[in-house]
Structure 1
Amino acid sequence: MVGNPDFSMGKTQDISSDIERLEMPEGELHLRFYLPSNSEFALSATGIKEVMNQPPDRITPIPNASPLLLGTINLRGQVIWVADLGQFLGDTVALNTQRQEIPIIAIEDQETMLGLAIEKIGEMQWLDIAQIQMQTNVPNHMAPFIRGEWILDRESNQSLRLLDQLAILRSARWAA
């Protein structure tokens, strides 16, 4: 390897100039995703335990549970509740559970874990928290769970809303 011409001084200088051109990410890492109404949201990656796709027959319905809950799944020996995030937030379009797999984002705080069933997983992206704005025209039933929003396009009024995992996990709505 030492005799390899790729390890010459000229190549080392090329590599260092490539490294200088790489941009350091700014902000915090977030997962972007969609609800059935095609509304886009984000969650901070630090509160996400796992992202998975589950077949609907692996979600066990529990009688007399909140209508917001689809049931439970077994995640490596741990039983966790799976909730319809869209219904929880008051989304007007129902989650399609008649498909091969349902995307689920498992969020966690201390010993509490909850699976959030969504329509579609987006991408991981570094987002600058300093650019977040107070939410505009958010329904009252959704407002306690939103930390703010990034304006993506002012002309089309497109925004990306940042959800508060802790507010979702600790919500009194789960008892209903």
Structure 2
Amino acid sequence: MVSKPDFLNGSGQDHFRPELQVESPEGELHLRFYIPSHQEFALPATGIREVMELSPDRITPIPNASPLLLGTLNLRGRVIWVADLGQFLGEVTPLNTDRAEIPVIAVQEQDTIVGLAVETVGGMDWLDVQNLMPPTNTPDTMAPFLRGEWLLETNNNQSLRLLDQTAILRSARWAG
């Protein structure tokens, strides 16, 4: 005779152990990262094509291109531009490219893909966009690319700013 496993016993009620229950996440999944000035930003995971750690020699410099652009990259047979996100947002501190690997976030909207080089990637987090506040103390060069910010629970009132990748990809700054 075959015995019934424990999960088949009972009257149809769940017999899960409470310590194994997983809370359903609140909000949407976002990638958190830093630019060279140590400001923290986030992008919605839905617009991210890929996150890479690249050796600087994989980014091909393009002569006479905008100072925002570090060069091009072959992403699975497709050539894409790689930009210094901090410089794009108006930061004066350029990204240090003299290191073993550079984190690059490939963002995509329809057929347009751009690689955004950042200082460090912090990880993925569930963030509730309903708790977004209007950005404060934002430089004019950065304001068009922000959807809002979350105030972090820290002693020095740091904020986590949410970027709008569509505004970044469609920006006229790329022409300059």
Which TM-score applies when normalising by structure 1? 0.90
Q: Go from structure 1 to structure 2 and tell me whether the alpha carbon gap of 1:65 and 1:118 turns closer, same or farther (over 3 Å shift).
A: same
Q: Which residue of 1 aligns with 2:18?
A: 18
**SS of 2:152's equivalent?**
strand
- CA shift at 1:105, angstroms? 0.1
- After TM superposition, give the deviation of residue 111 of structure 1 in Å: 0.4
The equivalent residue for 1:55 is 55
Counterpart of 2:64?
64
Q: Matched residues in 2 for 1:73 and 1:19: separation?
A: 46
Deviations 1:64-121 (A, max 9, x none): 2111000001011010000000111112322110011100000000000000000001
Q: Normalised by the size of structure 2, how large is the TM-score?
A: 0.90
Where does residue 86 of structure 1 map in the other structure?
86
Q: Give structure 2 stretches of 5+ with no counterpart.
A: none
Q: What residue is the counterpart of 2:122 in the other structure?
A: 122
Q: Given residue 140 of structure 2, which amino acid in structure 1 is its aligned partner? A: N
Deviations 1:44-82 (A, max 9, x none): 000000000111001001112111000001011010000
* 1:95 equivalent in structure 2: 95
Identity %, equivalent residues:
66
State the Cα distance separating 1:17 from its structure 2 match: 3.5
Distance apart, 1:153 and its partner CA: 3.2
* Counterpart residue identity of residue 135, structure 1: P
Number of the residue aligned with 2:171: 171
CA distance in 1, matches of 2:136, 2:67: 28
Structure with a larger share of its residues in helix: 1
Matched with 1:30 is 30
User: SS of the counterpart of 1:130?
Assistant: helix
- CA-atom RMSD in angstroms: 2.2
The aligned residue for residue 75 of structure 2 is: 75
Q: Which ranges of structure 1 fall in alignment gaps of 5 or more residues?
A: none
- SS of the residue corresponding to residue 141 of structure 2 reads coil
